[in-house]
Amino acid sequence: MVATEIITLHDKLQSLLDREKIAQSPKNYLPIACEFGKELARNQLLNGIKQTIAETGKLGFARSPELKAKAFVERNTAKNLLLLYKDTVPALSIYLQEYEDIEKTSQPMSWDQAYGLDYVLWKACFLIGNDRSADHSVILKQLITFGENGQIIGYIFSQSLNEWQYYLALIEQNKKTALWYSVHYLIRLHELNDIEGRLKKRYALLQDNQRFALYCFDLDTQNFDKALEQYDVQKARSLDFDIEECKMHLHQVWEFIKPKLLLQAKDNQITEIANDSYDESSGILIVRGIPVPFQRDSLRGKILGLLFPNGIAIKGELPFDVIYENAIATRADPSWYKLSDQEKEMFKKKIYEAYEGINERIEKKIKIKIEYLKSANTTLRIGNNTMPL
């Protein structure tokens, strides 16, 4: 019943978008975006689509892991040089301790950590350069790039960090229109709105002793809670929750996943219908693996027999004249084409009542709202009937 579940998800997300159109204030709008983000975060039916988005997003981050790794290697190399040199300049111990403190209290391998460590190394170089008690040119050349006239051009341990900073700036510049970021944005809203999840994340940050990350997380949750109570768009924006930006992300994600959900539903429905069957001898219809009993000699049973010849669902449509000739008329009755218009309408009504009765019984048995059979004026067909217009 995956197809039905996908359509149920589609309808739920579409209803959120319909509500979103009339929601003007942050107080009314943010809960809608949070609910959408919750489906993105938790609904397994969206995992494949999210994976596609993630794989596309990774292309924009292709060099980021490499530059990050190089930046931290350069930092550790510089730190190890300073450790070996602290006996020569004892005051370096202060900065080495500061370096160690940042490693312990900041988020590992984060930009903030890298920048903090870089600043400590810069101060250590400044200390060595201003020490006149000895010639420190050997170690300084391993830490600093000098020009022809002895001027400082750059710091060796900052080369990859500078590249990484430029790369992250490009990502930051482009992320507002990037689909991966829109997904991230909506899931983050859900996480900020999820009280149980907030408590778990806060506990994890405490356990890892990530004080700065904890501070930022607490600030985000406080601002979110305040924004959630606002009717004023400008006040919510001052708390870093811009409704127009939120709308842009919501629509961008929906425009991408909507057609893919419908295609998934169609593909799954074709597979599911192919697995349905009808046993004329017992009058048992199998729908999505669930047996639905019918009286085999009733009009409903006979219609199902025509829709499932040899127990297998037909792929096309079943005309009403075929139903009449094979399920209603006796040998003494005239053929369909000799019936008057009034007689045809009478038999059409019988067929309508029969197929509607089949649909009602299936819905009641499998406990899912599904229009299993659908009529196109003078024909019946199976499948693709739960697809939204």
Average pLDDT of 320-329?
A: 93
| Residue-level pLDDT at 173 | 74
Provide the 3-class DSSP secondary structure of residue 196.
helix
pLDDT at 118 over 90: yes
Q: d(Cα 91, Cα 332) in Å, to the nearest integer? A: 113
- pLDDT single digits (tens) 213-248: 888 899 999 999 999 999 988 988 888 888 888 999
Residues in the chain, how many?
389
Q: What mean pLDDT value characterizes the chain?
A: 87
Q: Longest Cα pair distance anywhere in the chain, in angstroms?
A: 122
Of all residues in the chain, what percent carry a pLDDT higher than 90? 51
Any idea where the domains of the chain sit in the sequence? 1-275, 277-382
DSSP letter string, 308-366: SGGGB--SS-EEHHHHIIIII--TTSPPGGGS-HHHHHHHHHHHHHHHHHHHHHHHHHH
| Residue-level pLDDT at 295 | 94
- pLDDT single digits (tens) 53-88: 888 777 666 677 888 899 999 999 999 999 999 999
Provide the 3-class DSSP secondary structure of residue 381.
strand
Helices 243-275 + 47-60 axis angle, to 10: 130
Average pLDDT of 309-326?
A: 90
Other beta carbons less than 10 A from residue 339's beta carbon: 17
